[in-house]
């Protein structure tokens, strides 16, 4: 299979310390193969981390691209972002002799990317890695920007590191193997970018939902999202801005991460949990005097049109959700920081939100006392 160079999109992510490309297109297999061949010719040892679901979904792609490279499979799903699988990954690197010139390759969705990136950041105090995202969610969000990590019992992504990949290959043909539920979960992050900074994108999705990986608009939408995230990361790589900055990318996530934690990791796909979180964030934005009820309704309708949940699937206790929120990594000086909408297409960070108000918001999306 040859790369379709004529349709190849390249975006450059430039941080204070490094720069790397994101390639977006179809039939990128030989481009990735060329980079792998170049690394091998330089004497680099390579290792692939994937999961069984991904490997079974695209067996020919996997065999042709990673032939002769040691590979390890982790269980599919959020539970693989664990200390146990992190330890397995490190032992895998050790058993295959990865030295400081070694390169890890993440071939999978956000879970595989986060785990591989954190293992690469930790092994020998940091080796290189390549992201090959296979889900829409990981293409538009988690594979870009260098956030890596795992979950512990106290909360999601509480253990991790900022570690940028050396390249990202986003082959849209890989999305053809995604179940509809997984594609919809990825669209949640696409919709997020429209809500927080791209009203034209939001209006396009509002007028005509994007429901299939064969949609000719997909490459442009993925490019738009990746460029937005790259710009944000370039300006605030480690989320240190006092207001706004990279924190804006957490729209809906303070609510969504609490849902994942309380419901149990794996009960909701990440995009499903943050979809409910978007509705909660929109309701919060209305309650504190920003967006109007009509804008909350528009957000809710776009999510529904893309097959995403807007309420909890089963009732969760408000007290448990609030407790999970207070363990979120975005808590500063004991206070939660929320991302709220001034309007569709403009988001800001808001500190000091009254917890009684947050409790009432949880009730509006199906939590119980």
Choose, from 156, 163, 224, 246, the residue flagged as catalytic.
Answer: 246
Choose, from 257, 287, 298, 337, the residue flagged as catalytic.
Answer: 257
- Please confirm, yes or no, whether 229 is among the known catalytic residues: yes
Phi, psi of 151 (to 5 degrees): -100, 155
The rounded Cα 181 to chain-centroid distance in angstroms is 16
- Please confirm, yes or no, whether 250 is among the known catalytic residues: yes
Closest CA to 164 of 140, 131, 139: 131
Residue with tokens 């795992």: 150
- Please confirm, yes or no, whether 257 is among the known catalytic residues: yes
Choose, from 128, 163, 253, 337, the residue flagged as catalytic.
Answer: 253
| DSSP 8-state symbol, 335 | B
What is the β-pairing status of strands 346-351 and 337-343?
antiparallel
Choose, from 78, 170, 239, 295, the residue flagged as catalytic.
Answer: 239
- Please confirm, yes or no, whether 364 is among the known catalytic residues: no
- Please confirm, yes or no, whether 147 is among the known catalytic residues: yes
Choose, from 55, 128, 147, 287, the residue flagged as catalytic.
Answer: 147
Choose, from 128, 192, 224, 270, the residue flagged as catalytic.
Answer: 270
- Please confirm, yes or no, whether 156 is among the known catalytic residues: no
- Beta partners for 47? 104
Could you tell me if 145 and 189 are in contact, meaning their C-beta atoms sit under 8 angstroms apart? no
Closest CA to 226 of 264, 271, 189, 176: 189
Residue with tokens 């269980």: 75
Closest CA to 329 of 189, 144, 161, 156: 156
Choose, from 250, 272, 287, 295, the residue flagged as catalytic.
Answer: 250
Choose, from 2, 17, 125, 216, the residue flagged as catalytic.
Answer: 125
Angstrom distances, CA of residue 67 to CA of 62, 189, 333: 8, 33, 50
- Please confirm, yes or no, whether 170 is among the known catalytic residues: no
Could you tell me if 363 and 357 are in contact, meaning their C-beta atoms sit under 8 angstroms apart? no
| DSSP 8-state symbol, 7 | G
Helix axes 180-197, 293-305, angle to 10 degrees: 150
Choose, from 78, 85, 170, 189, the residue flagged as catalytic.
Answer: 189
- Please confirm, yes or no, whether 270 is among the known catalytic residues: yes
Helix axes 253-263, 318-325, angle to 10 degrees: 120
Q: Which residues are catalytic?
A: 125, 147, 189, 229, 239, 246, 250, 253, 257, 270
């Amino acid at each position: 299979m040859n790369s379709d160079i004529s349709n190849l999109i390249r975006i450059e992510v430039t941080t204070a310390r490094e720069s790397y490309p994101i390639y977006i297109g179809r039939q990128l297999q030989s481009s990735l193969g060329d980079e792998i061949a170049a690394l091998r010719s330089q004497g680099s040892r390579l290792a692939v981390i994937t999961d069984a679901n991904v490997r079974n979904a695209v067996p020919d792609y996997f065999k042709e691209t990673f032939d002769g490279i040691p590979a390890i499979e982790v269980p599919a799903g959020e539970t693989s972002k664990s200390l146990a699988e992190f330890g397995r990954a490190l032992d895998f690197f050790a058993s295959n002799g990865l030295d400081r010139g070694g390169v890890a390759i993440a071939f999978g969705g956000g879970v595989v990317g986060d785990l591989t990136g954190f293992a690469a950041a930790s092994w020998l105090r940091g080796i290189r890695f390549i992201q090959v995202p296979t889900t829409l969610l990981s293409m538009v969000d988690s594979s870009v920007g260098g956030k890596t990590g795992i979950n512990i019992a106290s909360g999601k992504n509480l253990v991790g590191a900022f570690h940028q990949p050396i390249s990202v290959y986003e082959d849209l043909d890989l999305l053809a193997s995604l179940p509809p539920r997984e594609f919809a979960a990825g669209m949640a992050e696409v919709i997020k970018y429209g809500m927080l900074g791209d009203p034209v994108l939001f209006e396009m999705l509002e007028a005509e939902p994007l429901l299939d990986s064969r949609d000719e608009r997909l490459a442009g939408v993925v490019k738009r999202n990746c460029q937005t995230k790259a710009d944000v990361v370039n300006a605030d790589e480690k989320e240190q801005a006092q207001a706004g900055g990279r924190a804006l990318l957490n729209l809906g996530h303070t609510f969504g991460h609490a849902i994942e934690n309380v419901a149990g990791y794996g009960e909701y796909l990440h995009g499903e949990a943050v979809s409910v979180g978007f509705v909660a964030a929109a309701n919060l934005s209305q309650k504190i005097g920003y967006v109007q009820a009509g804008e909350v309704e528009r957000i809710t309708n776009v999510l529904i049109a893309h097959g995403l949940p807007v309420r909890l699937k089963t009732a969760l206790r408000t007290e448990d959700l609030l407790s999970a929120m207070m363990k979120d990594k975005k808590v500063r000086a004991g206070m939660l920081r929320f991302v709220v909408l001034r309007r569709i297409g403009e988001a800001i960070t808001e500190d000091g939100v009254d917890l009684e108000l947050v409790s009432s918001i949880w009730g509006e999306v199906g939590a119980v006392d």
